[in-house]
Amino acid sequence: MVEPFRARNSGFGGLSKGAIIIAAMVLTADGLIATQAPLTLLVTLPATGAVIALAAARRHGMSALAYYWARLAWRRASRAEATSYRRLLLPHPYALDLPGVGASTTLIKAHDPTSGKPVGVVHDRATGYMTVTTLLAPGGSLMAPTGAVQSSLRTWSSVLDSMSTDDQIKAASVTIQITPGAGEALGDDVKARQDPHAPQLAKKVLRELVRTTPHATASVAPWMSVTVDPSASANPPTDLAEQVAEALKVADSLDLSGTGTDIERRATDIDLRRLVRSAYDPAVFNARDKDFADLSWGECGPQAADDGWEEYAHDGGVSVSWVLREMPRRTIAYSVLLPLLAPGRFQRRITLAYRVLDPIEGEAVLEREISAARDRARATAEVKGRAKWSQKADAQRAERAAAQMAGGAQVVDWTLMVTVTARSTAELPAARQELERAVKATRGIRMRPAFGAQAAIFAAGLPLGYSPLMKD
């Protein structure tokens, strides 16, 4: 069981502290202008009041002002055709790059000296960051003893602690992708394992299973991506090869043993091409490795894509992405995400993105939350005679989190993102309904569509090194 702590607005009445300061400045400006032209108050006061009311009101878990401002920005971008992508077959630089937030990335095929095998590294040419992905073995802990699960959670906590003290690790994410059907890859695996001297009846049964299995099962592909800044080393590497080596060294320093996770291997360049290409076209996920070996990095993306307000249309279908709106206030079980991880009719990707705050930043965040919670309770008590019980509970949670940090724990900024992909526009309502039911079945986790950011959240679930939590 885990008790989540959710940061609250540090202001009052639904407004953040920054919004309150801006509102006070605007009202002061209105008053100064009114000293020269009193009639201007007939215009400025209603306009200012409307903006403040929008900032205080909530819509889909965010301020109404932020929601409508994002809607306006998206419409402007749509009119300028900035939300549409078409692959250009012209001989100019970066013509065949990935769309959106993946445009600055490129794929590097490297050699891992520890394993002696090839490994794929995604390089962000804009920031210089490197992303290393580790393929994990699908499994679970539902049948494990409670003590073993608690031990795994403690070990995972220590892994996050190690990230907080490493300046080179900028972000990390864990993604689980569920794709219906096992496809041709299952047939290849069974053929390689089949005993040529097996009885004919056994061979016939296996052939029948391979033929029918793609319609009855799902492929589960979990992976963990770590984004590293090689230049943050004490001795910054001078060339690209040294930067890749530094990124691999930092990724190897994260010990996942004991976390309840089985490591399969480092993702190769072919693995990364498969994961990215199959996200845009789920039908090719179970294709053979040779089908991805000759693809360029740009060819792993879509031929065309359109970023809508609540959906993202691309080559192999239409995707809908949701983001975390609010975690439950009550203590939650470790199996809370099980409904989201259950296979369905459509491909689904569930991503947990992490950014571990360094100890100084984490302490500042918690101290700010404690002061803000007490200020809200005090202000409400002055107006209504007593503070709300929810405000008292917020202060208690913040104090407990601060006590845990004083005992050696770290503060983690994290979010949950889910993407479901339908094969056609006609299937989109069914895919959206399946996602809504899965979210409701978690009994407490509240999510919402990623309004105006569908393409970005879609890419955040891929091993591209993009994270909405990452600081520049």
> Among 208-217, 271-280, 367-376, 409-418, which is the least confidently predicted range?
208-217
Is 301 or 148 the better-scoring residue by pLDDT?
Answer: 301
Average pLDDT across the chain, whole number: 80
Euclidean distance between CA atoms 403 and 361, whole angstroms: 15
pLDDT at 430: 93
pLDDT at 6 over 60: no
- Tell me if 355 sits within 8 A of 467, measured CB to CB: yes
Other C-beta atoms closer than 10 Å to the C-beta of 23 total 18
Euclidean distance between CA atoms 183 and 285, whole angstroms: 8
pLDDT band per the 50, 70, 90 thresholds, residue 1 = very low
Measure CA of the first residue to CA of the last residue in the chain; give whole Å. 34
pLDDT at 344: 84
> Among 49-63, 247-261, 272-286, which is the least confidently predicted range?
49-63
pLDDT band per the 50, 70, 90 thresholds, residue 121 = very high
pLDDT at 197 over 80: yes
| Strand (E) or helix (H) holding 321 | strand 317-326
pLDDT at 337: 83
* Buried b / exposed e along 208-223 (16+ C-beta atoms within 10 A): eebeeebeeebbbbbb
pLDDT at 2 over 50: no
